[in-house]
Amino acid sequence: MEPAELLRHGDEVLVAVVEVAGALVIFVGAVWAAVRFVVEGLRHRTAAVFTPIRLSLGRFLTLGLEFQLAADVLRTAVSPSFTQIGQLAAIATIRTALNYFLGREIRQEQRQVTDGQPRP
């Protein structure tokens, strides 16, 4: 196997591992949040109890999106074409925007929890 081919194969393996890690983080976060939602919903039945669950789910989603973006960067790292670079730029922009707004919402809710203000 030639070095370039070996590099491409190694990159494909890394991309797959990082994508699976990102999907796994999101899946685990969604399952955790769903279980907590049911348990806390049956126990307390107040809206305030769900804010920490949403915050934790948001953290899982943010981390999962970071893994997915890393996989996209790895995919483009080996012999990128202009089309791939354009696709990466579009994907990175969308995922970065999602991360930004998700992070902003998490910080906002954390402040509300700290200040004791209910979420509208």
Please report which residue ranges of the chain form alpha helices under DSSP H.
3-43, 51-77, 82-115
Report, in angstroms and rounded to the nearest whole number, the Rg of the chain calculated over CA atoms: 19
Whether the Cβ atoms of residue 102 and residue 61 lie closer than 8 Å to each other: yes
pTM: 0.77
Whether the Cβ atoms of residue 46 and residue 118 lie closer than 8 Å to each other: no
Query: pLDDT per residue over 76-113, tens digit each?
Result: 887 678 888 888 888 889 888 888 888 888 888 888 77
Q: Is 119 helix (H, G, I), strand (E, B) or coil?
A: coil
Amino acid code (one letter) for 73: V
What number of other Cβ atoms are within 10 A of residue 8's Cβ? 14
